[in-house]
Amino acid sequence: MSRGPFDGRATISGIGQSAVGRRLMRDGLDLTIEAIERAVADAGLSFDDIDGVASYPGPGVPAPGFTGADVSQVQTALGIRSRWYMGSIETAAQVGPVIEACMAVALGLAQHVVVFRSVWEGTAQAGGGRASALVPGGELPPHLQYSAPFGALSAANWLGLPATRYMHDHGLTKEQLGQVALNGRRNAALNPAAIYRDPMTMEDYLSARVISTPFGLYDCDVPCDGATAIVVSRAGSAGLRRTPLVVESVGTGMYERPTWDQRADVTSMAAYDAAASMWERTSLTAADVDVAQLYDGFTFLTVSWLDALGLVEHGRAGDLLDGGDRIARDGDLPLNTSGGQLSAGRLHGFGHLHEACVQLWGEGGERQVARQPEIAVVGAGGGPVAGCLLLSNREA
């Protein structure tokens, strides 16, 4: 059998992250370049080696700070001689461009593609609060037409709906949901780059003000500034600083209509389709996963990814989360080991990808998981869009 959709030809050779903070008062392009410079150096390459650029979401998203830089800005700023490039939001969520870069190197369209995601929502939304990002004015955007008239203005509302039903149908408790937040905070304490590092107790979590049931303040991530970049390289590339990681499989499925509320199972979301398509493309299974970096823009998204990926029996995410021991760094399935978005910052999926690489390379320092992992899964997005990656440190 071939080794996944790219037959082992797509690898990750370097990672880089800019300064990350709540409000750095730096612009998105500045942060993006910092992350890219670090990723290229981390791979052991120079800008002359880079011949591809890819990013999410591309230009055109009006929300303040949502797009730190687009591909053409980066090409202009850095003078990269691209043999291939792309930037789009209509793809498998934030990791879609990573998957496209894998295709590009596997097909020989490029040798080394730098892929980035950068945000500066903290600085860009300063003063206006998060609500300033909701309605840019004028006509409601398509995704708000059927929700905003009823006061459902935030993903906290749209995700509160499936979360309430999952808890009702499967007995997930608020305390179990809270373990996603507590686990993230414990891990963030050991991550110098994390934004929120003070200890959080279950009492803190439960007594936080309600945003939209079942979510309280600590179920929701917070806008920040920060950029993350990775280098996707064709397997067998010369001159790399260390053994690259293999992209074993990717999840890109969209089997049902991309809506928040019309899926056959109202507790599910696009993550289920992305996950199913990822497993269809590899001989690896959920039982092989050693460490999981699962999107936590809201705690329930992590629950949904655990369920969607088959890391738990359907409906039983609460059992894995209960008490928090099994998802800790020395547990059965270490989860969101950098602190996730809830504590390390809303880096929009790429924080999770960055951390998966850190753990597979054994470079986590104090927060490195107890048993050196071989296989990591990354889930990005939720609601109507999702994408996932299965990475390994096995030889290409």
Answer yes or no: are the C-beta atoms of 221 and 297 closer than 8 Å.
yes
| 133 or 328: CB nearest another protein | 133
Chain mean position to CA 167: 24
Gyration radius from the chain CA atoms? 19
Q: Which of 254, 266, 276, 286 binds another protein (CB under 8 A)?
A: 266
Work out whether 46 is an interface residue with another protein (CB under 8 A). no
The first and second tokens of residue 386, run together, are 């999702």
Member of 81, 241, 242, 257 binding another protein (CB under 8 A): 257
How much of the chain is helix, strand and coil, in % rounded to 5? 35, 20, 45
Gap between the Cα atoms of 199 and 352, Å rounded:
21
- Listed residue (69, 5, 1) closest to 280, CA to CA: 5
CB of 61 vs another protein, minimal distance in Å: 19
Closer CB to another protein, 107 or 146, in the complex: 146
Complex with another protein: residue 23 or 165, whichever CB lies closer: 165
Residue 304 lies near another protein (rule: CB under 8 A): no
> With binding defined as CB under 8 A, does residue 208 bind another protein?
no
Element (H, E) at 43: helix 28-43
Contact with another protein (CB under 8 A) among 175, 261, 319, 374: 261
In 80-224, where do the E strands start and end? 84-87, 112-120, 210-212, 215-216
Q: Binding residue for another protein (CB under 8 A) from 72, 88, 213, 372?
A: 213
Residue 83 or 130: the one with the smaller Cβ distance to another protein is 130
Quick check: helix, strand or coil at residue 88?
Answer: coil
Segment contacting another protein by CB under 8 A, of 105-113, 188-196, 207-215, 324-332 = 207-215
Nearer to another protein, 272 or 350 (CB): 272
Between 139 and 198, name the residue whose CB sits nearer to another protein.
139
254 binding another protein? (CB under 8 A):
no
Nearest distance, CB of residue 213 and another protein, angstroms: 4
Cα–Cα distance, 225 to 118 (Å, whole number): 8
Q: Does 262 bind another protein (CB under 8 A)?
A: yes
Q: For 388, what's the count of Cα atoms within 13 Å in the CB-facing half-sphere?
A: 33
Residue ranges in 44-154 assigned as alpha helix (H): 71-78, 96-106, 121-124
* Minimum CB distance to another protein smaller for 107 or for 210: 210
Binding of residue 277 to another protein (CB under 8 A)? no
Q: Which of 390, 383, 365, 363 is nearest to 14 (CA)?
A: 363
Q: Residue 259 interacts with another protein (CB under 8 A)?
A: yes
User: In the stretch 118-157, what mask flags binding to another protein with x, by CB under 8 A?
Assistant: -------------x--xx---xx---xxxxxxxxxxx-xx
In angstroms, what is the minimal distance from the CB of 98 to another protein?
Answer: 29
* Residue 131 beta carbon to another protein: minimum distance, rounded to whole angstroms: 6
Tell me the C-alpha distance between 47 and 21, whole Å: 27
Helix (H) or strand (E) holding 385: strand 385-392
Interface residue list for another protein (CB under 8 A): 131, 134-135, 139-140, 144-154, 156-157, 160-165, 168, 209-214, 257, 259, 261-262, 264, 266
